[in-house]
Amino acid sequence: MTVYNIALIGFGGVNRALAELVAKRNTLWERELGFCLNIVAVSDLRLGSVVSPDGLDPRMLLQANFAPGGFGRLSGGRSQADNEMIIKSAPPDIIVEATFTNPKDGEPAVTHCRWALKARKHVVTANKGVVAFAAHELNTLAKAGGLSFEYEGAVMSGTPVMRMAEKTLIGTRVMGFEGILNGTSNFVLGRMEHGMDLSSAIKEAQALGYAEADPTADIEGHDVRLKVAILANELLGASLKPKDVACEGISRLSSQDINTAINESSRWKLVGSAIRGKDGVVVGTVAPRRLSLQHPLAAVGGVTNAVSLDTELLGSVTIAGPGAGRTETAYALLSDIVAIHADRSKATAAA
């Protein structure tokens, strides 16, 4: 039975949820997946950092009500985050990068992943910024070192759109895609259909925890822009940077626009899309679109995400599921570790 030592970089909602899964399901994973996870280090901007080569009790990490700098009270702990030391140190086999998403350049998460791969650690992340800005570089580093850089959760959280397209739909050739890739904006548009104005719908989304205090990234399409760049590069073989994706959000839509669409058997959705032209050039866009009720994305409501893939052999294939959520995203990280384990098992069998 294989034990993977993991280091959690960032201990917010997603990595806390992964720690919860480790606490509850490690024994099950041993039996069903052939491995278990041992948390040997955690680093967090608020809490500090802690390292234990023998492993940290995930229940202790979750149940202790740590004050800022609280990891400094633990054996092997410091009151300040020391990401570089933890990432480059010997104990971890896998670095789980779950710090905040920087939509401008992906830092500091890009540097975290670079450090890890150069130190011969596998990396799993759900950080959109890392993947949108540096996937090519980091995949090249990983391949050169015989390592894995996995990021299934970067687009649709626990819904495996990239792995499904690349593994299950292999041979169909994806020509383009269009999707609802931001649950917050989709929720807001749905509430506007029920009579709310934009401002009130955003406030409700914030009260429910769907929107941040500053909802700009969701409402103006910046979050979707990152995801379009990721999907275009992964599924269409493009080399797009986020700045290459034309972007317009939903802030210009009025209640009258929403009502007119309803009266004409259609509805507004914020759609991220990319298509490969006959010349081979891939063009990505984010914009509000008025969809007929027969469109496969028109019925996608609430905070659900969905992507319709345009394939040569099957036509349109639509994948829908949770696009956010701490447990859902933690599952995506687990699925990435499963992929690492499968690759290692194949390599061992072939040796």
Q: Tell me, yes or no, whether 14 and 103 share the same domain.
A: yes
Q: Token pair for residue 85?
A: 């030391």
Q: Tell me, yes or no, whether 16 and 84 share the same domain.
A: yes
Enumerate residues 6+ apart whose C-beta is below 8 A from 97: 9, 10, 109, 112, 113, 116, 123, 124, 125, 127, 130
pLDDT tens string 65-91: 999 999 999 999 999 999 999 999 889
pLDDT the model gives residue 324:
83
pLDDT the model gives residue 325:
86
Q: Residues 153, 126: contact at Cβ < 8 Å?
A: yes
pLDDT the model gives residue 321:
92
Q: Is 80 exceeded by the pLDDT of residue 350? A: no
pLDDT the model gives residue 346:
82
The model's confidence at residue 10, banded by pLDDT at 50, 70 and 90, is very high
pLDDT the model gives residue 349:
78
Question: Which residues are catalytically annotated?
Answer: 227
Q: Tell me, yes or no, whether 32 and 107 share the same domain.
A: yes
Q: Is 80 exceeded by the pLDDT of residue 265? A: yes
Q: Tell me, yes or no, whether 98 and 174 share the same domain.
A: no
Q: Residues 181, 307: contact at Cβ < 8 Å?
A: yes
Please compute the mean of the pLDDT values over residues 202-211 and round it to a whole number: 92
Q: Tell me, yes or no, whether 175 and 132 share the same domain.
A: no
Burial degree of 137 (CB within 10 A; 0-12, 13-18, 19+): middle
What CA–CA distance (Å, rounded) separates 220 from 286?
9
Q: Tell me, yes or no, whether 114 and 207 share the same domain.
A: no
Q: Is 80 exceeded by the pLDDT of residue 348? A: no
What CA–CA distance (Å, rounded) separates 39 from 205?
34
Q: What is the total count of domains within the chain?
A: 2
Q: Tell me, yes or no, whether 24 and 140 share the same domain.
A: yes
Q: Could you tell me what percent of the chain has a pLDDT over 70? A: 100
User: Where in the sequence is the domain holding 278, given as residue range(s)?
Assistant: 162-322
Q: What is the average pLDDT value for the chain, to the nearest integer?
A: 95
What's the CATH code of the domain at 346? 3.40.50.720
Q: Tell me, yes or no, whether 301 and 188 share the same domain.
A: yes
Q: Tell me, yes or no, whether 87 and 166 share the same domain.
A: no
Q: Tell me, yes or no, whether 17 and 106 share the same domain.
A: yes
**Signed CA dihedral, 273, 274, 278, 281: sign only:** positive
pLDDT tens string 253-264: 999 999 999 999
Q: Tell me, yes or no, whether 221 and 108 share the same domain.
A: no
Q: Tell me, yes or no, whether 140 and 228 share the same domain.
A: no
What's the CATH code of the domain at 238? 3.30.360.10
pLDDT tens string 279-322: 999 999 999 999 999 999 999 999 999 999 999 999 999 999 98
pLDDT the model gives residue 345:
84
